[in-house]
Amino acid sequence: MKRILAAVLLGFGLTAGAVLASVDDEILSRIQPIGDVCLQGEECGSAAAPTVTASAGPRSGSEVYGAVCLACHTTGAAGAPVIGDASSWAPRVEQGMDTLILHAINGYNAMPAKGGCVSCPDEEIAAAVEYLVAESE
């Protein structure tokens, strides 16, 4: 009886050891790094670092509108005048383009400064305002 018990315990021990080894392997595979850091001047393989291309200049008003203004000015979110709706734009246009551009750059009512595009230069915001007004007249 002792021999049977010893054989069973030995079997459980071997099985548990194999299971723990398998778990360890799974953990090691999950925590492996997904990449390497390559510092400038080091040879790190054939993959070249991505290059940053300079902008070819300011974006057009329609490009800025499509990237930044579209979400609110097509739905009227938070009271934004909808593009193409002349009646909602008329009182704003009467204030003058300079006022509209200042409101767009500095924020007005629910609209954040630059419509939330902090990286947009003022000239791109002005182009977007001009585009919105032209499309709404």
Could you read off the pLDDT of 41-80 as tens digits, one per residue?
Answer: 888 765 555 555 555 778 999 999 999 899 899 999 989 9
How far is residue 129's CA from residue 120's CA, in Å, rounded to a whole number?
Answer: 13
The structural domains of the chain, ordered by start, are: 61-135 (1.10.760.10)
Residue 15 is predicted with a pLDDT of: 65
Asked if residue 134 has pLDDT above 90, the reply is: yes
- Count Cα neighbours of 16 within 13 Å in the Cβ-side half-sphere: 6
* pTM of structure: 0.60
What is the per-residue pLDDT across 4-51, written as a single tens digit (0 to 9) for each? 877 666 666 656 555 566 778 888 888 888 877 888 888 876 555 555
Residue 11 is predicted with a pLDDT of: 66
Residue 10 is predicted with a pLDDT of: 67
